[in-house]
Amino acid sequence: MDIKIQPIETSKINSVDFSNLAFGHVFTDHMFICSYANGEWKNPEIVPYGPIAFEPSARVFHYGQAVFEGMKAYKDDSDDIFLFRPDESIKRLNKSAERLAMPALPEEFFYEGLKKLLHIDTSWIKKGFGNSLYIRPFMIATEGAIAASPAKEYKFIIICSPAQSYYAGEVRVVIAEKYSRSADGGVGFAKAAGNYAAQFYPTSLAQKEGYQQVIWTDANTHEFLEEAGTMNVFFRIGDTLVTAPVNDRILDGITRKSIIQLAKDSGVTVEVRNITVTEIKEAATKGELKEIFGSGTAAVINPIKGFKHQDFTYELPELENAYATVFKEKLMNIQYNKDTDVHNWRVKV
Ligand code: COI
């Protein structure tokens, strides 16, 4: 694929403090961009990261016709660059796009664009456990017309941001009783931009009460535990790891499915099944609830220190060899090329 490259004149890398990065605030020198019009994707380009002009009537601004992905690039001690399960990301991007009536992106635009971008901005990928380059591929409807129907023109763009941890500090959650993240037949499984915007207000209410995130429950009964903030959620009851099955309300998380596999490989019993608020509160009361943690590309695995539901509050115990710690390390060892990768998840670019 012929990608036109317009390099920056002067890199801004020397102005960045890589030891003190807030998630998603600093971007690399370049971005990949291509366009869809007249039924085809074209004009792949790498250009300096910066503002782009769109018609104020572009559908993305009015109807939220936008989907995205989250990935990371890692560098090992030999300066080789790796991605983690990129095939899953392109598949999910196109599944999300289909649900939002957007055109599928050919895989080569995704892979070739991303590979070239990573090599051009390679100095932004820092070595060292915990350092990574967060990759944000996204597709937006750019056609200038406010008819409430799918656009005929789109852009697919990849921007990259050097990253360390996603959550600074401890995370405690409120279990949702009123608001919902998604509903049956909705777009909860897709990485649709609006899924995240709809979380901001209920999350801000939780934050006013001193909690950082919300555990989302099903919209019908608010009894089934589904996701935590922007992450999938796992519960350790006794020594069994339990997580909800993915369905049209829950994101098919790549970190989620990798943790399930790693836990099974380690001989841990994993139950992928519906899990209720009542069950969790009972397990907590009996002292059987040992861990709750969220998983996602940005956060990797984030322990949840406590939760609140109605007037019930609970603090999780401090554990040695917590699953959250053990599986995070196993996963990162694979991602950073420090361990064998029996499932062939790591891809060198
Ligand atoms: C990710 O974990 O990559 C996500 O897409 C969540 C995002 C809100 C940071």
- The per-residue pLDDT for range 335-347, each reduced to its tens digit, is 999 999 999 999 9
C-alpha 224 to ligand 1 mean position (Å):
22
Alpha-carbon gap, residue 90 to 72, rounded angstroms: 13
Distances (CA, A) of 143 to 36, 93, 140: 10, 20, 9
Residue 165 pLDDT greater than 80, yes or no: no
Answer CATH for 4-163 from 3.20.20.70, 2.70.70.10, 2.70.98.60, 3.30.470.10: 3.30.470.10
User: Domain boundaries in the chain?
Assistant: 4-163, 172-335
Structure tokens at 166: 């996603």
Q: Which residues contact 338 (CB under 8 A, 6 or more apart)?
A: 76, 129, 332
Average pLDDT over residues 251-279: 98
Residues 28-75 pLDDT 10s: 999 999 999 999 999 999 999 999 999 999 999 999 999 999 999 999
Quick one: how far is CA 79 from the chain centroid? 25
Q: Using 50, 70 and 90 to split pLDDT, how confident is the model at 166?
A: confident
Largest pairwise CA distance in the chain: 63
Average pLDDT over residues 150-178: 92
Q: What pLDDT, on a 0 to 100 scale, did the predictor assign at position 115? A: 97
Alpha-carbon gap, residue 232 to 295, rounded angstroms: 5
**Which H or E element spans position 204?**
helix 193-208
Q: Is 287 left (phi over 0), alpha (psi -120 to 50) or beta?
A: left
Instruction: Quote the pTM value.
Output: 0.96
CATH class of this structure's domain 172-335: alpha beta
Residue 164 pLDDT greater than 90, yes or no: no
Mean pLDDT of the chain: 96
Q: Which protein residues touch ligand 1 with a CB less than 6 Å away?
A: 70, 196, 230, 296-299
C-alpha 9 to ligand 1 mean position (Å):
31
Confirm if 313 and 172 have CB atoms less than 8 A apart: no
C-alpha 297 to ligand 1 mean position (Å):
6
Buried b (16+ CB within 10 A) or exposed e, 12-49: eeeebeeeebebeebbbbbbbbbbbeeeebeebebbeb
Q: What pLDDT, on a 0 to 100 scale, did the predictor assign at position 276? A: 98
Q: Which residues contact 329 (CB under 8 A, 6 or more apart)?
A: none
- Which residue CA neighbors atom 5 of ligand 1 most closely? 70
C-alpha closest to that of 6 among 49, 46, 65, 38 = 46
Structure tokens at 118: 């990573």
C-alpha 296 to ligand 1 mean position (Å):
6
Average pLDDT over residues 281-287: 97
Alpha-carbon gap, residue 142 to 66, rounded angstroms: 10
Three-state DSSP class for residue 13:
helix
Q: Which one of 230, 233, 250, 256 would you pick to mutate in the ligand 1 pocket, going by the greatest count of ligand atoms within 8 A of its CB?
A: 230
C-alpha 134 to ligand 1 mean position (Å):
9
Residues 181-240 pLDDT 10s: 999 999 999 999 999 999 999 999 999 999 999 999 999 999 999 999 999 999 999 999
Residues 97-131 pLDDT 10s: 999 999 999 999 999 999 999 999 999 999 999 89
Index of the ligand 1 atom closest to the CA of residue 71: 3
- Which residue CA neighbors atom 9 of ligand 1 most closely? 298
Residue 169 pLDDT greater than 90, yes or no: no
